[in-house]
Amino acid sequence: MSVQDITLIGVPLEAGAGRRGCIMGPDAFRTAGLSEALGELGHSVRDVGNIQPEQVSLPETPGVVLKNLDAIAGWTRALHGRALELGLRETLPIYMGGDHALAAGTVTGHAAAANELGRPLFVLWLDAHTDFNTLDSTRSGNLHGTPLAFACGLPGFESYLGHPLNAPVDPGNVEILGVRSIDRQESELLLEYGVSVSDMRRIDEIGIAGLLRPFLDRVAEANGLLHVSLDVDFIDPEIAPAVGTTVPGGATFREAHLVMEMLHDSGLVTSLDLVELNPFLDDRGRTARLMVDLTSSLFGKRVFDRPTRSF
């Protein structure tokens, strides 16, 4: 990946999660020095502040318990429009979340931009969960568990944008890595739609590089654009505790950095989500600093650039 023009956008969204605190995520990334770290690598970085949601009021659906649907629809519409705009410019946007519901807007906006450019959008979803529930299948009603299903064009999500998607992501262009928790109905939907899912057992057996490399080759062969959505809970909670949906047995420090280093080497990434950072649950900022360090790896920081650090 060569020198980039990078746009940082804060998304103080916590309406999709089951615990409060993600609203502080964007400022935690700023405090941890994300802009400075990328600037030191030679990139041009512009922080445009925090995006605000549209105001949406939807009719109630009797018998359906969906938490904060109006708020998620408002965030989705605002983010979709902004991602579409940025996806058509010569910049690489980083969306600093905020919970994973933000991807309903970022992924679909970049898919719409890719469609206008005549190129396919591929999505690398780094997460302990697949977030492939629909509004009908979600058991918790927490809408951060639905954005990928929406982005892939599954039915029933018209309320998110107020209309059906005109450029959904091809489910065959999605790669989910690091999964450790899938609802039964999600599993059925993933199989039905042909989404590639690698849980930690597959990573243990094949290795994360052996799973990621064929996907990156497919992106390159298709002249695709690549959106990466990195959830804090992709990483093992022993080293990244600041997340409200902890699942033991996640990616190690080296596995996570290897993914980022391979993405850098590929030169394919065109947009990035950093999601589910909950500073309220952190230990002296260690998770925020780790996420900044991982992002730096994606943008070219090398192992020998890393000083000894005392937490």
Q: Which residues are catalytic?
A: 100, 127, 129, 131, 144, 231, 233, 276
Contacts of 171 (CB under 8 A, 6+ apart): 152, 193, 194, 195
First CA to last CA distance, the chain = 30
Query: Is the Cβ–Cβ distance between 48 and 93 less than 8 Å?
Result: no
Strand partners, 240: none
User: What would the two tokens of residue 84 be?
Assistant: 């579409």
Taking alpha carbons only, the member of 235, 246, 206, 223 closest to residue 297 is: 235
Asked if omega into 10 is within 30° of 0 (cis), the reply is: no
- Residue 9 phi/psi, 5-degree rounding, is -130, 125
Q: How many CB atoms lie within 10 A of CB 52?
A: 11
Helix H or strand E encompassing 205: helix 200-206
Q: How many CB atoms lie within 10 A of CB 30?
A: 17
Helix H or strand E encompassing 179: strand 174-179
Please give the Cα distance from 207 to 24 (Å, whole number). Answer: 34
Q: How many CB atoms lie within 10 A of CB 5?
A: 13
Query: Is the Cβ–Cβ distance between 3 and 88 less than 8 Å?
Result: no
Please give the Cα distance from 279 to 277 (Å, whole number). Answer: 6
Query: Is the Cβ–Cβ distance between 283 and 32 less than 8 Å?
Result: no
Report how far Cα 77 is from the mean position of its chain's Cα atoms.
17
